[in-house]
Amino acid sequence: MSKAENYARIIKAEAKRLGFLSCGMSKAEFLEEEAPRLEKWLNENMHGEMRYMENHFDKRLDPTKLVPGAKSVISLLYNYYPSEFQREDSYKISKYAYGQDYHFVIKKKLKSLLQYIQEEIGDVHGRVFVDSAPVLDKVWAQRSGLGWMGKHSNVLTKQTGSFYFIAELIVDLELEYDTPVTDHCGSCTACIDACPTQAIVDPYVVDGSKCISYFTIELKDELPSAYAGQFDDWMFGCDVCQDVCPWNRFSKSHNEPLFNPDERLLNYSKNEWQELTQEVFQEIFRKSAVKRTKFEGLKRNIKFLDENKNL
């Protein structure tokens, strides 16, 4: 067994021990195929008000500009599919935001993995990334053999669908690299057909500026009246394209206590959400990703849903 093979085996075993769903490796190099796709997506303004997507174009495509001397991208998946769900007659929150903010939960595990690599293998330098830097995480997960890109632009696996977070370690260590898996979407268009705002404009292309997640989280202005009655009761994020995907029949609930929700999140009715106070918001979402939209943002979303419920 070569050094690169042995190192990859050691890292994957530790990632599994830390609770990651899967782990794959790819060579840290310029993403030549992605460059024109990203440029076209930005030029067509599919990022809406997410101006940060325009920044660091070169870094998004080349991990060696993020981590000098980088040789490998280690991609990891972490399950967030819950065992309990919100009641039917409620305003909805995306499942990834049920528990504590994934950025902190997963970053801690990634740092442990990097420390383990340094202890077991030696003088290895790198950085950890959890959806917080200009890294095209879905592309790297795909290149690392962790799944294929679904038509809804989420990474899919046969075994567990798509309800997981993607994270990376970019390191200056050569490893044995995995190969991409084949696409298993076939002729299915369930996600495209089900999207309430027709944000999936072509297979594998999502117009972010039309997505309910974008409106309810990223957009800071008033919600556009043109989409009144189309939000399908989502007050934070949206899971429709994943919920209808046949591969998500195989989703299994996570084993991460930090992702378990406050009971009120599961049990509140629409009336109770409408009466939400700043104090209760802080209690329910104390360490949650929902804090990104802030109390005022969530109230704005709820008001928009309530005012347009009969449209």
Q: Could you report the per-residue pLDDT of 112-171, keeping only the tens digit for each?
A: 999 999 999 999 999 999 987 778 899 999 999 999 999 999 999 999 999 999 999 999
Burial (CB count within 10 angstroms: exposed 0-12, middle 13-18, buried 19+), residue 174: middle
In a domain, 288, yes or no: yes
What is the structure's pLDDT at 24?
98
Q: Identify the domain boundary among 171, 206, 224.
A: 171
129/274 same-domain check: no
232/131 same-domain check: no
212/118 same-domain check: no
Q: Tell me which of 131, 183, 232, 233 is the catalytic residue.
A: 131
152/8 same-domain check: yes
In a domain, 184, yes or no: no
Please state, in angstroms and rounded to a whole number, the distance separating the CA atoms of residues 270 and 118.
50
Q: For the segment 249-259, what is each residue's pLDDT rounded down to a tens digit?
A: 999 999 999 99
64/146 same-domain check: yes
Please state, in angstroms and rounded to a whole number, the distance separating the CA atoms of residues 99 and 129.
20
Specify whether 193 is catalytic: no
With b meaning 16 or more CB within 10 Å and e meaning fewer, what string describes 241-261? bbebbebbeebeebebeebbb
Question: Nearest to residue 178, comparing CAs of 148, 138, 142, 144?
Answer: 144
166/220 same-domain check: no
pTM to 2 decimal places: 0.93
131/238 same-domain check: no
pLDDT, averaged in runs of 10, over the chain (311 residues) = 94 98 95 71 59 61 89 98 96 97 96 97 94 84 96 95 97 97 97 97 91 94 94 98 97 97 97 97 95 96 91 64
Total domains, the chain: 2
Task: Supply the range of the domain harboring residue 102.
Answer: 3-86+94-171
212/277 same-domain check: yes
165/27 same-domain check: yes
148/206 same-domain check: no
What is the structure's pLDDT at 55?
55
What is the structure's pLDDT at 131?
84
The 8 Å CB, 24+ separation contacts for 1-9 are 2/176, 3/174, 4/174, 4/175, 4/176, 5/176, 7/121, 7/173, 7/174, 7/175, 7/176, 8/175, 8/176
In a domain, 256, yes or no: no
12/141 same-domain check: yes
In a domain, 65, yes or no: yes
What is the structure's pLDDT at 32?
77
39/104 same-domain check: yes
